Amino acid sequence: MSYNPSNPNGQATSANSAPVVIASDQSAVPISDNGSSLTVDGSVTVSGTVTANAGTGTQNVSVQNASIPVTDNGGSLTVDGSVSVSNFPATQPVSGTVEIGSTSLAALETISVANFPATQPVSGTVTIQDGGNTITVDGTVDTELPAAVALGDATANPTAPHIGSCIEGFNGTTWDRLKTDTALAGNGANDTAVGILAAGTGPGFSIRVNPANLGTAANSASTFNVDGANSITVAIATTTTGTFIIEGTADNTNWVTLEVFEGSQDIWVSGQNITPTAGRVYQLLTQGYRQVRLRTVTTLGATVSHFVTLSSAQQFLGGIDTGPAPHNFGYTIIHRDGEYATQQTGVALWTPAAGRRFAVSSLTITTGGTTAGIVTVWQGASGDTTYSAGTDPAIFRGEFAPSANSKPGVVKSFTVPFVSTTADHVLRVTTSAAMTVYVQVDGYEI
């Protein structure tokens, strides 16, 4: 059948119509199934865009030599079967902000990806919201921080960074906590400055002390601590009647008059019976003394205002004071003294606290009267009052022969403090006769 222009739809005119033949020089022919089905025998090549609207049916599409771009056009796209992705990269970088779960982690579905790499580098900000639930991490989180432990001495070298105010010092093998100056203060509530030289020598320094005015009544005193000072300067700021004295003590008990240098007159004077005069400046060496005081001798016409400056000297820190006990740092200084006029047999001079040992750093023994005898200061057990030479450790043992014109004594300073060999042992005094004896010891307990 040939093409009939009067029948443009190309419909067959009889049941056994022949195939429609279109000449190559003719235009395209529109085709319609006219509400029925249309069968194409052979292959059809389509160029351009094909819109398929199949309703809810299923359409099978096979692509042989090319690919078909697929879009959901703003709706949803369901793929029945498996989707293969080739050449998936081994590492997936993630940048920007990643949010996991906006309201609840329970609302998230499980995402499975076959052959997904074990490690995914993440850069930028990662925000994890639990939506009020609990986030559980399965595995180990590496924070590069050590486990939390209580601070202590002899800490091993850390294998991870320390965060916090952990002030420690290395002793050559382990790390120890550093002590504050408060722990090293030792004795003396009157201390106006506390501290030590860590090593070697240090520069001299001066500390000004403004004590209360010297009172007018006899024996009124203005006392200041001079531990660690090399010299002091006392400046008088009030002129009045009466006299005062300048004294020092090495044991906080016995006071002696000091010789002083009066700077305004450039002379050495005795520190006793001094009339208060404004502008007078008195200087004295204080090494070996623990306290110095101004004391009223005769009633003053008015209180005396004065100012004190303590000066230290360069000095080496003794090696004994940088090692383990016994030493002078970190302990409360203890003073013990006894006065005896009858014969003594192992009388207790110093009984340390339970479980502790005594450490004697200095000892002073003086005698009075005219009775001679042997004085022994020794270490004994709590129930031992009889001194046994060669068995009981003696700190001092010597003979004194006082007379009306001579009162012998001894002062002993221990370079290394004497430490009792056993805890709870007692420092005792034994005299061989009814002699007058004064004993003072200084030290601490460990």
How is domain 206-311 classified at the CATH fold level? Jelly Rolls (2.60.120)
Sequence-separated (6 or more) residues with CB below 8 Å from residue 263: 233, 281, 282, 283
pLDDT at position 186 is 44
Separation of alpha carbons 313 and 117, rounded Å: 72
Residue 195, pLDDT > 90, answer no
User: Is the pLDDT confidence value at 184 over 50?
Assistant: no
pLDDT at 423: 92
pLDDT of 1 over the 80 cut: no
pLDDT of residue 152: 75
Q: Is there a shared CATH topology between the 206-311 domain and the 334-445 domain?
A: yes
Nearest to 396 by CA among 373, 412, 381, 380: 412
Contact 257, 245 (CB under 8 A): yes
At residue 348's C-alpha, the angle toward residues 344 and 354, to 5°, is 165
pTM above 0.85, yes or no: no
Structure tokens at 405: 């014109």
What are the residue ranges spanned by the domains of the chain? 206-311, 334-445
Amino acid at 57: G
Q: Is the pLDDT of residue 81 over 90?
A: no
Fold of 334-445: Jelly Rolls (2.60.120)
CA atoms of 173 and 86, how far apart (whole Å): 59
The rounded percent of the chain whose pLDDT value lies above 90 is 32
Sequence-distant (6+) residues with CB within 8 A of 222 are: 211, 212, 213, 214, 293, 294, 295, 306
Element (DSSP H or E) covering residue 170:
strand 168-170
Compute the distance between CA of residue 186 and CA of residue 359 in angstroms, rounded to an integer.
14
